[in-house]
Amino acid sequence: MTVKFTQEHEWIKIEGDVASFGITAYAAEQLGDVVYVELPEVGKTIKTGDAVAVVESVKAASDVYAPVSGEVVEANEELSASPEKVSEDAEGEGWFAKIKLSDASELDGLMDVDAYKAFLESL
């Protein structure tokens, strides 16, 4: 299992050819209390950079971008009733959806945990 990060403050956890993703703890902290999550539709084909979900906090609403291309195979429906999971456990129970990867080589362009930490330092 590998975890990667994007410059848009998303994490992606790869298990075989399926990857779950969500927003990072840093992003969740910046947003403040999350009050609503709009999830991607299961079965939808998405490509890297598409706005696939929306996360709304008391401060702002933000798009969440697809970290990789593929097909949405599962969405975390629990977030609809309990959006606070994103604030409380962004990189665990606060996952948004699972994507079946269409091009595993896209992962090479993403940051590992050390690179992401360095990226946060640079902000």
Partner 1 sequence: MTIETFTGAKALLQKTELLFEYGSVDKTGIDTVKPEGLADNLGGLKRKAKPNLPALTEPEAMRHYIRLSQRNYAIDLGMFPLGSCTMKHNPRLNEAMARLPGFSDIHPLQPQSTVQGALELIDTLSDWLLKLTGMKAVAMSPKAGAHGELCGMLAIRAALDARGLQARKKVLVPKSAHGTNPATAAQAGFEVVEVAQTADGRVDVEDFKAKITEDTAACMITNPNTCGLFEHQIKEIADLIHAAGGYFYCDGANFNAIVGKVRVADLGVDAMHINLHKTFSTPHGGGGPGSGPTVLSDALAAFAPVPWVVNDGDGFKLLEHKEGEAAQAFGRMVAFHGQMGMYVRALSYMMSHGADGLKQVSEDAVLNANYILASLKDVMTPAFDGYCMHEALFDDKFLEGTGVTTLDFAKAMIDEGFHPMTMYFPLVVHGAMLIEPTETESKHTLDDFIKSMRGLAAAAKSNDKSRFDHAPHLAPSKRLDETQAARKPVLKMAD
In the complex, the residues that contact partner 1 under the rule CB under 8 A are 33, 35-36, 56, 58-61, 83-84
Instruction: Report the 10 Å Cβ neighbour count for 9.
Output: 22
Q: Is the Cα torsion angle 100, 111, 76, 40 positive or negative in sign?
A: negative
In the complex, the smallest distance separating the C-beta of residue 71 from partner 1, rounded to whole angstroms, is: 22
In the complex, the smallest distance separating the C-beta of residue 59 from partner 1, rounded to whole angstroms, is: 4
In the complex, the smallest distance separating the C-beta of residue 83 from partner 1, rounded to whole angstroms, is: 6
59 versus 117: smaller Cβ distance to partner 1 = 59
32 versus 92: smaller Cβ distance to partner 1 = 32
Side chain identity at 41, as an amino acid letter?
Answer: E
Whole-angstrom distance, CA of residue 46 vs CA of residue 68: 8
61 versus 104: smaller Cβ distance to partner 1 = 61
Contact 75, 96 (CB under 8 A): yes
